[in-house]
Amino acid sequence: MCASSDRPEEAFARPDAGTATGVGVLVLAGSSGRIETQRVRLLAAAGAVASSVRWFGGAGQPPGICEVPLETFAAALDRLAPECDRLAVLGTSKGAEAALLLAAHDRRVAVVAAFAPTHVVWANVGAGTDGRDRPQRSSWTLRGTPLPFVPYTDDWEPDTDPPAYRGAYEASLERYPGQVERAAVGAERIRGDVLLVAGEQDAVWPGADWARRIADRRGEHGLPTTVVVEPGAGHRVLLPGETRPQGSRPLAYGGSDDADRRLGERAWTELVRMLPLRP
């Protein structure tokens, strides 16, 4: 068990006395926008001080993932840092995008774990502070400047119900090849340990392919990367003891519960080793 505090904009949990590992983990959800209370408690039970914050849709924040300041996450690390010897960020999907960017710009991050990652910055998902989702803008800013991004092609239409958006991202990369290098997440600038976790059957975006691109780019700079890929898994990663959360909107995620759990078990093994946690 662990001591926890759940507020509307944050979940924060500490391990019981005598079980702490000295690790602090910032947990970032994807486009659901939820507070990852379940994952925070799981990490705290394994010896980490863990926090999950609302980073869009809250008071004073953009309603969508549109020009979200990376300083939002740096401030969350500021709150963890006094209690920890080692800081880590664990993000899923759009949260993985943010986690990689944060680790590339904040040298305090000793470990970044990106579940269903992307190798580039994407355009906004939803409205900005002006209440509009067009024109397309970056998902992120740093020191007030929007980061370069890959826009979406507007003529793509889903052919499944619920929609599988993987084709939209693939089509956008093909439509805007000149934007890809400028929009790279800069994984070669990450000096901490990097864990990439993805399912080959991801129907939201091709996270496994992009994980390999990130690893290849880091390899070109002599940097090691741990990649965990499960053939039958989809966009979601279920760590041991987690239950499947409800999505905020209907999406085709791909994979199956069994495969997503196998991927989560393998990811957990690596997290225990890299952070480290208590097994």
pLDDT tens for the chain, residues 1 to 279: 355 554 458 999 999 989 999 999 999 999 998 999 999 999 999 999 999 999 999 999 999 999 999 999 999 999 999 999 999 999 999 999 999 999 999 999 999 999 999 999 999 999 999 999 999 999 999 999 999 999 999 999 999 999 999 999 999 999 999 999 999 999 999 999 999 999 999 999 999 999 999 999 999 999 999 999 999 999 999 999 999 877 557 899 999 999 999 999 999 999 999 999 998
Q: What span, in angstroms and rounded, lies between the C-alpha atoms of 109 and 274?
A: 13
Number of domains in the chain: 1
Q: What span, in angstroms and rounded, lies between the C-alpha atoms of 197 and 115?
A: 5
Give the range of the structural domain holding residue 257, as residue numbers without chain letter: 2-274
CATH of the domain at 225: 3.40.50.1820
User: Considering the domain boundaries, does residue 279 fall inside one?
Assistant: no
Q: According to the model, what pLDDT value does residue 1 have?
A: 38
Q: According to the model, what pLDDT value does residue 261 have?
A: 98
User: Considering the domain boundaries, does residue 170 fall inside one?
Assistant: yes
Q: According to the model, what pLDDT value does residue 244 have?
A: 86
Determine if residue 131 is left, alpha or beta; phi over 0 gives left, psi from -120 to 50 gives alpha, anything else beta.
left
Q: What span, in angstroms and rounded, lies between the C-alpha atoms of 114 and 196?
A: 5
Where b means 16+ CB within 10 Å and e means fewer, 82-118 reads: eebebbbbbbbbbbbbbbbbbbbbbebbbbbbbbbbb
What is the model's pTM?
0.96
Orientation angle between helical segments 71-80 and 94-105, nearest 10 degrees: 70
Handedness of CA 272, 217, 115, 3 (dihedral sign): positive
Q: According to the model, what pLDDT value does residue 4 have?
A: 54
